[in-house]
Amino acid sequence: MANWQFGLVDVLDISVVAIVVYFFLSLIRGTRAVQMLIGVAVVVVTYQLARTFGLFTVEWMFGHFFSAFMVILVVLFQQEIRRALMRVAANPLSFTGSATDESIDSLVESAFSLVHRGWGGLIVIERETGLRHLFESGVEMDAPLRPDIIQALFCPDAPMHDGAVIMRRDGNGGRIVAARVLLPLAQANAVPGDFGTRHRAAVGLSEETDALIVVVSEERGEVHLVEGGQMGAPMTSMELREALGQLAVSSAKPAKGPAGNF
């Protein structure tokens, strides 16, 4: 290989490592994985010091620890590894359609119709990451996303009111594709102390996937938008419409088919 080719390979090599490190750090930023990473770094530094200064017993102990290191890493970071793989599989370079005004309107009206009734609700918007595996915990269905149907599902006396509804965009305002779905819960400290499992479930799913989740609090009568493990401040209907519209614009690329995404 010519010299310039070696140079190019080195640049490519370093770039890939930099991207992977950046991706990993942005994934764990603000999560409990940071503390675990610090713990792992302390163990590695202690091991190196023990080797340098010939501390036989310490080196022996940490040597055994390192023989199981890969397994320990996988166990410690299983949640982060799962999230990373799901995001890679979601293919950030792929084209997604933008949400139509109708689907945003239906969603906002549906969420605030629950507020007016004093009921809680959890509406998940599927994007690039497929959520079909969650359907098993609930009931697969196919219905238009409309305030009356959302109310029928989340009415506290209705048999289907527990859990989340999953929606997909279509050309006519969105479709409900599953109801009574159980979502993975986030750690208790991922949401402020006075929020309960409904909000933890919203944050939990958004940590693992690129889904957007609209949570309607029964106790507070508030609506929150959850994305990427973060729950925003309570929103008015106008703010929610605007936030969803911006997310639609930021992912607005040529549509690939009828089931596009926000």
**Residues within the interface to ligand ATP (CB under 6 A):** 120, 122, 162-164, 182-183, 185, 195-199, 201, 217-220
CB of 160 to ligand ATP, least distance (A): 10
Q: 22: part of which helix (H) or strand (E)?
A: helix 3-28
Q: Minimal CA–CA distance to 192: which of 153, 226, 157, 242?
A: 226
CB of 60 to ligand ATP, least distance (A): 45
Both tokens of 239, joined, read 């703010």
51 vs 161, beta carbon nearer ligand ATP: 161
47 vs 154, beta carbon nearer ligand ATP: 154
Q: Measured between alpha carbons, how far is 200 from 118 in angstroms, rounded to an integer?
A: 20
> Cα–Cα distances in Å, from 198 out to 115, 175, 225?
15, 22, 13
218 vs 239, beta carbon nearer ligand ATP: 218
199 vs 241, beta carbon nearer ligand ATP: 199
**How many CB atoms are located within 10 Å of the residue 239 CB?**
15
Q: 150: part of which helix (H) or strand (E)?
A: helix 147-154
